[in-house]
Amino acid sequence: MIKKSLLLVLSLLFALAASAAGPDASDYPSKPIRLVIPYPPGGSADLVGRMVADKLGKSLGQTVVVDNKGGGSGSIGSDFVSRAPADGYTLLVAISDTHAINPAVMANLPYDPQKDFAPISLLATQPMVLAVGRHMPARTLADFVAEAKKRPGALTYASNGKGGLQHLAMELFSRQAGIKALHVPYKGAGPALADVIGGQVDALFISLQGAGGNLGTGNLRALAVAAPKRLSMAADVPTFAESGYPDTVVTQWYGLMAPAGTPPAIVQKLNSEVRKALDTPDISDKLKAVGTEPAGDTPQEFAAFLAAQIKLWAGVAKSVGARLE
């Protein structure tokens, strides 16, 4: 009798220990997965997300359904995922705006970028370049800085809106270079780019993908790339570090996240499959062709990267009063 009771107690303890460790991912996924992209179709986040969704669907043996939930600078789709069940069946393509810029500039953000999400992996990074229109005489970053110092506040720069990455990127560089330029915000990157090309505004920060063919045709001139090293697509463009500004590193980044509380085994399984996907030539080569670098890291590394990004842009936003009420 005592032996049977002891066996029963041990069985219960084993079951409790297994439950505390969380479910394994052996039967995950058993149904389609929803991948929320918090922007409309056609943009960079959509491109990266759909590439990853296709590969994940094939490797996991379940359909990954892309769901574009745009609006609120990405906050609507992000908030939706933060409130979804933490079971691995609702995922988010988070980007620098939704999880680093929005927290710095939006007063009533409906989600916490760290507490409400489980980081899975950084997917890709898209370095920005400082570009000027063909009307500008500046041929180098040193030329641009010298002109800005000679005429404080006279040079203008465009952005896709107050508090966005293009705005804060220029403010970050201006602070480091000791210059002042006049911010001209637009309702979107398209009109901002058009007016720099047209000569109404002098400069802007933009990704290679966002610039399209305008760098090659001479409509825009890239002065420096805000990346740790030169880009293969624009090997003749020096980095900011080469010009004396090592802290000007600005990337639009894309990452995969799940709701907070998602079982670690599921997070790890998704991380493993995502990293395999990013290593395949058909994703890696396509991303590099548009000036985007495939990433892939551990959930812990992604969490540390996110914390550093939040700290960086909170400081920049505060210094220029970019808070949006």
What is the mean predicted confidence (pLDDT) over 101-130?
A: 95
CB environment 117-146: b (16+ within 10 A), e (fewer): bbbbbbbbbbbbbbbbbeebebeebeebbe
What is the mean predicted confidence (pLDDT) over 106-121?
A: 96
Report pLDDT for 8.
47
- The rounded percent of the chain whose pLDDT value lies above 70 is 92
- What lies within 8 Å, CB to CB, of 311 at 6+ separation is none
SS3 state of residue 40: coil
Q: Are 168 and 317 in contact (CB under 8 A)?
A: yes
pLDDT tens profile 134-180 = 999 999 999 999 999 999 999 999 998 888 889 999 999 999 999 99
CATH H superfamily, domain 32-125+252-320:
Bordetella uptake gene, domain 1 (3.40.190.150)
Report pLDDT for 233.
83
Report pLDDT for 15.
43
List the beta strands (DSSP E) in 108-260: 117-133, 156-159, 182-185, 203-207, 220-225, 251-259
pLDDT tens profile 229-255 = 998 888 899 999 999 999 999 999 999
CB environment 10-36: b (16+ within 10 A), e (fewer): eeeeeeeeeeeeeeebeebbeeebbbb
Distance, in Å, from the CA atom of 76 to the CA atom of 66, rounded to the nearest integer, reads: 15
Phi, psi of 250 (to 5 degrees): -130, 120
pTM beyond 0.85: no
CATH class, 127-243 region = alpha beta
- What lies within 8 Å, CB to CB, of 112 at 6+ separation is 82, 103
Looking at the predicted structure, is the pLDDT value of residue 4 above 70?
Answer: no
Q: Where in the chain is the domain with CATH 3.40.190.150?
A: 32-125+252-320
79: Cα within 13 Å, side-chain hemisphere: 13
Residues in the chain: 325
Report pLDDT for 187.
80
Report pLDDT for 64.
97
Mean pLDDT of the chain: 89
Q: Where in the chain is the domain with CATH 3.40.190.10?
A: 127-243
Kindly state the tokens that stand for 202.
């002098």
Report pLDDT for 2.
52
Comparing 16 with 231, the larger pLDDT belongs to 231
Distance, in Å, from the CA atom of 75 to the CA atom of 81, rounded to the nearest integer, reads: 10
